[in-house]
Structure 1
Amino acid sequence: MEHVVLGLGSNKSFGAFSSLELLKRACSCLADFIHGLEVSSIYKTAAMYVCEQDDFYNMVAVGKFSGTPDSLLEKIHSIEQKFGRDRSLEVRNGPRSLDIDIELFGNQTVKKENLVIPHERLLERAFVLAPFLEVLQKNADVNKADIEFYGKKLELLKDQRVEKYCSF
């Protein structure tokens, strides 16, 4: 089993489900195959890359996964589709009902066309680092050097608007 870190985000409703409800339902689905699932609070964040869109609600989920990075990607794509994501119809970095990214997969490095681990923009995204640090700081088994490393990276991004919105 590998320790995984997933980043989740939403800024568009799907059917009767608001972004917040979509995140909660996605976490319920993740709990079916991520063992010991822990989640951060939800953070309201300014959109990046394509700024002319609604704010995002972001969070991080961590736990253990028994499988390969590719099998995890397949499972999270299935959850995204279940909650209205159709990659063929969307603008890259534009509005979406649900986005789930694999940020870390143990100590593995993957570089494929459809999957890069660690996530190639992990260290430039306060909307991932803030909730990730929240979860890290709750875990007594975490290496303090990791907390310090990610904390320093987050400090460099203090110009990005990331506000704790609510607890999960």
Structure 2
Amino acid sequence: MLAYIGIGSNLGNKRGNIHRAVKALGADPGNRRVRCSPLYATEPVGKKDQDWFVNGVISLETSLSPRELLELLLGIEKKMGRVRGEKWGPRTIDLDILFYEDQILKEPDLQVPHPRLQERKFVLLPLRDLAPDWVHPALGKTVSRLLAELDTQEWVIPLDEGNEKPCTV
């Protein structure tokens, strides 16, 4: 199954944190063909008085169920020192399931597609880098169209310019 994962960090060595998380995802036997978008510097959403984030998107083929994938992501976050506390607060690593094939899931702790991805330029830009024609299963619009329709003043600045990407797996 094809899944897209949002990844971000705004504490410590942000790029290093992203590299470590990507490596951990690729090391799981249920995942293969890990691909990464370029990275972007992004202003924080919600709580503005914190360091900017480095964000990107990962695609991977997985044999894990959405629930198993979520558990893997939460485990990676925990191993990397993520402390869940303040909403929209700083984090060493943030991993979110954006899409899982064309499935729509609405469970208390697992919503797929991610319920706010269409509102977030820092998600849509790197997602477009990997899958511009991917159709949002609930909205029926491509990632490119969602990005074109987005009305935001959110700052999202390319970091990689086609060079280094966080995938080394």
TM-score strictly above 0.5: yes
The equivalences for 1:1-168 within 5 A come to 2-13=1-12, 18-33=13-28, 34-87=31-84, 90-136=85-131, 144=133, 146=135, 149-155=142-148, 156-157=150-151, 159-166=153-160, 167-168=164-165
| Larger helix fraction of residues | 1
- Identity across the alignment (%): 31
1:152–1:159 distance in 2 versus 1, CA, 3 Å: farther
1:145–1:54 Cα change, 3 Å? closer
Contact 2:6 2:55 in 1 (8 A): yes
The CA deviation at 1:145 is 6.9
Where 1:53 maps in the other structure, the secondary structure is coil
User: In 2, Cα distance between the equivalents of 1:69 and 1:28?
Assistant: 19
What TM-score comes out, normalization by structure 1 length?
0.86
The number of equivalent residue pairs is 155
RMSD: 1.7
Question: For the residues of structure 2 that align with 1:108 and 1:94, how far apart are their CA atoms?
Answer: 29
Shift of 1:94: 0.8
Preserved contact between residue 45 and residue 56 of structure 1 (Cα < 8 Å): yes
Gaps of 5+ in 2: none
Aligned partner of residue 24 in structure 1, secondary structure: helix
